[in-house]
């Protein structure tokens, strides 16, 4: 039996949802909440399999509580809003489904509830299109980061710093003084100074700031 | 001129794109003859959907998509296309692509969704009505994901923070 919590400030909508779900033999409504804050309290106590979550509600809206709710229940968003940012926020916040009022019938709601309860998910057509776009952007970002990291690695390699000098450089970039660098790397301050002298030569830097700028590639 | 509600309605109706007059055209690219025909029959049973071509050849599909500009291409991911190494990319230049896959693992689906597809249907997880819904949604510029694909996608979105 799939236990469902209905979260919506509109009692008529809650009634309609109760009615839709009552027709299914495998679903039971275990609780209702009129706002986000109450929803979190109820969900923590009841641990429903699926929470149907509206967005626009008094006291606490859906988006502000979705990640808390997701700790106690799988969340299926059910709202009239389908702004891209809201869909994105809800899914990043842990929702497993998103349906828009007026675009689904009772049969689709039931399939969505069952899919979400079973560890899958359910998205409206707009939700699916927003999700695919977000994934592609994310992949492009990861690709860019990888290219940038490779560029940095290749650029640094040309300086020919030793392993140890690179360790010193990393701490220097983090803003540490010689004494702190020496402590962290278990060296004497004199050794750190020697490393720095060698680093400055290799980076063609006359002081710490210049060295950091060369190493990090900032202009 | 004062614009009454009736005028507004009429103007809105005239500005609306003429959905419902032209059928949604679809190209089906699938390696198996029987399954290809079955998918075609399902689509042809849908109102205002017309299957323009069926093929098992990915390279031929690119040529056909270019020439016929179907609204939607239904592509089984196993299809071969020696001349088009990035088949989805090649098809997506001319049409909106829905990919059909047997893979249910998160990583495989994630990879598919990074290609320029508008929808992903996972075998064993969709009904005829979903197929029709997917074609209509994608033709209208929206998207469609089978429940397993939704799980893979939302998992991916959550994991990259």
Same fold? A2-128, A159-219: no
pLDDT tens sequence across A39-72: 999 999 999 999 999 999 999 998 999 999 999 9
Higher pLDDT pick, A136 / B11: A136
Q: How confident is the prediction for chain A on average, in pLDDT?
A: 90
HSE-up (13 A, CA, CB side) for residue A194: 7
Closest B-chain CA to A130: B143
Residue B15 has a CB neighbour count (10 Å cut-off) of 7
In chain A, domain spans: 2-128, 159-219
SS3 A67: helix
pLDDT tens sequence across A161-193: 888 888 888 888 888 888 889 998 888 889 989
Contact B158 A126 (CB under 8 A): no
Please, what are the domains in chain B?
Answer: 23-159 (3.40.50.2300)
Contact B144 A94 (CB under 8 A): no
Stretch A28-38: mean pLDDT? 93
SS3 A13: helix
Closest CA to A49 of A114, A106, A111: A114
Q: For the domain A2-128, what is the CATH code?
A: 3.40.50.2300
Closest B-chain CA to A128: B143
Q: For the domain A159-219, what is the CATH code?
A: 1.10.10.10
**Are the CB atoms for A62 and A37 separated by under 8 Å?**
no
What element of type H or E holds B54? strand B49-55
pLDDT tier at A114 (50, 70, 90 boundaries)? Answer: very high
Ranking A12-16, B7-11, B71-75, B111-115 by mean pLDDT, the lowest is B7-11
CA torsion sign for A43, A47, A52, A53 is positive
Stretch A158-162: mean pLDDT? 86
Percent of chain B with pLDDT over 70: 86
Q: Which of B137, B142, B157 sits opposite A134 (nearest CB)?
A: B157
pLDDT tens sequence across B117-127: 999 999 988 88
The rounded distance, in Å, linking the Cα atoms of B99 and B94 is 15
The rounded distance, in Å, linking the Cα atoms of A82 and A105 is 17
Residues in chain A with CB shorter than 8 Å from the CB of B125 are: 120
Residues in chain A with CB shorter than 8 Å from the CB of B156 are: 135, 138
pLDDT at residue A218, rounded to an integer? 65
């Amino acid at each position: 039996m799939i236990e469902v919590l209905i979260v919506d400030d509109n009692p008529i909508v809650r009634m309609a949802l109760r009615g839709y779900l009552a027709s299914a033999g495998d679903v039971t409504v275990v609780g209702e909440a009129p706002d986000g804050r109450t929803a979190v309290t109820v969900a923590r106590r009841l641990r429903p399999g699926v929470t149907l979550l509206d967005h626009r509600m008094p006291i606490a809206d859906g988006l502000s509580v979705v990640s808390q709710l997701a700790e106690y229940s799988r969340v299926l968003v059910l709202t009239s809003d389908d702004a891209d940012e809201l869909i994105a926020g809800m899914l990043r916040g842990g929702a497993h489904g998103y349906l828009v009022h007026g675009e689904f019938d009772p049969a689709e709601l039931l399939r969505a509830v069952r899919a979400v309860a079973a560890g899958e998910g359910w998205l409206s057509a707009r939700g699916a299109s927003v999700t695919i776009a977000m994934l592609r952007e994310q992949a492009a970002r990861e690709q860019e980061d990888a290219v940038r990291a490779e560029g940095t690695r290749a650029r640094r390699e040309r300086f020919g710093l030793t392993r140890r000098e690179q360790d010193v450089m990393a701490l220097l970039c983090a803003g540490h003084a010689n004494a702190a660098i020496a402590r962290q790397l278990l060296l004497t301050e004199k050794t750190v100074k020697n490393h720095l002298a060698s680093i400055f030569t290799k980076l063609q830097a006359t002081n710490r700031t210049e060295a950091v700028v060369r190493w990090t590639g900032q202009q | 001129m004062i614009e009454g509600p009736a005028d507004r309605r009429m103007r809105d109706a005239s500005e609306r794109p003429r959905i419902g007059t032209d059928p949604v055209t679809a190209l089906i690219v699938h390696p198996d003859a029987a399954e290809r025909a079955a998918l075609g029959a399902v689509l042809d049973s849908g109102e205002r959907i017309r299957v323009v071509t069926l093929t098992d050849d990915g390279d031929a599909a690119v040529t056909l998509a270019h020439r016929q500009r179907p609204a939607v291409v239904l592509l089984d991911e196993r299809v071969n296309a020696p001349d088009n190494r990035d088949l989805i990319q090649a098809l997506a230049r001319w049409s909106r692509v829905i990919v059909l896959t047997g893979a249910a693992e998160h990583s495989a689906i994630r990879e598919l969704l990074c290609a320029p597809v508008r929808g992903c249907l996972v075998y064993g997880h969709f009904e005829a009505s979903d197929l029709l819904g997917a074609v209509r949604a994608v033709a209208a510029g929206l998207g469609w994901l089978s429940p397993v694909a939704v799980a893979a996608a939302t998992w991916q979105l959550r994991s990259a923070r």
